[in-house]
């Protein structure tokens, strides 16, 4: 909380306070902010509109959500929070059963899942990501189907019409779509419209959807919706994910799995 009395804040100070609350709580409600600031709801809605116009939050009915950071290139993401992603990957791999067909999307966290999969389960892995196929090829014991199409270097995987059509011809037990953002109300989100179509095809081709997300992606939204929260059966989160955020997903019928603490 800012030291200034909320009722005496200038609009710029109020907006900064709103951003701080978004980072801490994962959402803000207009009527509650109006009461805290002792201003009209119209003033708060104007603040939220201005923040949304600057790309700092996402307006939703009754308030706002934080906007997840734009996805960095895959090469950069591989070097970020490696131990945290390894912990997530190990937890996600425990949801897999013998003989299943898996759809694994591109991404550094999903690469950690591939590295943690048990090699003696007779698994078939369908992926649009060459690096994930290579990880499994080096480990042996997996049937691998690599989805073709145009390779997007930033994403590190095949996207586009050809890739979507190939996925539509598959029936998988579980899919692991890469998560740009996931919110308990809105569901799973992405930034790139072409990539979102591919993620959507994965969800539709699978019996269950498992979203694996680092804490910075929880309670956030992006530009395009991949799937509603009712289409997500499992969410794998970091060990220190906030209790309130976890409870919000559970309240919408999602089974939440906490990874072990990351080893530094």
107 and 222 together in one domain = yes
The CA distance from 177 to 199, in Å, is 6
186 and 84 together in one domain = yes
First to last CA, the chain: 31
Give the neighbor-by-neighbor strand order of the sheet with 255-258.
Answer: 143-146, 124-127, 101-104, 172-176, 206-212, 234-237, 255-258
Task: From 47, 66, 85, give the residue that closes a domain.
Answer: 66
Model's pTM, two decimal places?
0.74
Task: From 66, 88, 111, give the residue that closes a domain.
Answer: 66
Residues ≥6 apart with Cβ < 8 Å to 88? 109, 112, 113, 212, 213, 214, 236, 237, 238, 259
Task: From 50, 66, 82, give the residue that closes a domain.
Answer: 66
53 and 151 together in one domain = no
CATH of the domain at 37: 1.10.10.10
23 and 129 together in one domain = no
Is residue 1, in this structure, part of any structural domain at all? no
The model's pLDDT over 212-232, given as tens digits with 9 standing for 90+, comes to 999 888 888 887 899 999 999
Domain range for 87 is 74-258
CATH of the domain at 236: 3.40.50.1360
Counting the structural domains of the chain, the total is: 2
The model's pLDDT over 81-120, given as tens digits with 9 standing for 90+, comes to 688 999 999 999 999 999 999 999 999 999 999 999 999 9
Residues ≥6 apart with Cβ < 8 Å to 247? none
86 and 39 together in one domain = no
């Amino acid at each position: 909380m800012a030291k200034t009395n909320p009722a005496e804040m200038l609009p710029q100070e109020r907006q900064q306070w709103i951003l701080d609350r978004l980072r801490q709580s994962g959402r803000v409600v207009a009527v509650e902010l109006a009461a805290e600031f002792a201003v009209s709801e119209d003033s708060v809605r104007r603040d939220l509109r201005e923040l949304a116009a600057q790309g700092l939050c996402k307006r939703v009915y009754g308030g706002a959500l934080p906007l997840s950071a734009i996805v960095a290139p895959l090469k950069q993401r591989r070097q970020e929070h490696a131990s945290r992603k390894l912990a997530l990957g190990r937890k996600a791999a425990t949801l897999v059963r013998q003989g299943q067909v898996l759809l694994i999307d591109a991404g550094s966290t999903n690469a950690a899942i591939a590295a943690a999969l048990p090699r003696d389960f007779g698994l078939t892995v369908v992926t649009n990501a060459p690096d994930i196929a290579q990880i499994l090829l080096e480990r042996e014991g997996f049937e691998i189907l690599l989805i073709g199409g145009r390779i997007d270097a930033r994403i590190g995987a095949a996207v586009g019409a050809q890739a979507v059509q190939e996925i539509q011809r598959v029936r998988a037990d579980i899919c692991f779509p890469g998560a740009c953002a996931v919110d308990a109300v809105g569901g799973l989100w992405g930034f790139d419209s072409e990539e979102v179509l591919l993620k959507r095809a994965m969800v539709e081709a699978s019996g269950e959807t498992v979203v694996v997300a680092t804490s910075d992606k929880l309670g956030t939204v992006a530009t395009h919706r991949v799937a509603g929260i009712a289409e997500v059966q499992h969410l794998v989160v970091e060990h220190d994910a906030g209790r309130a955020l976890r409870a919000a997903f559970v309240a919408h019928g999602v089974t939440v799995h906490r990874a072990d603490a990351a080893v530094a």
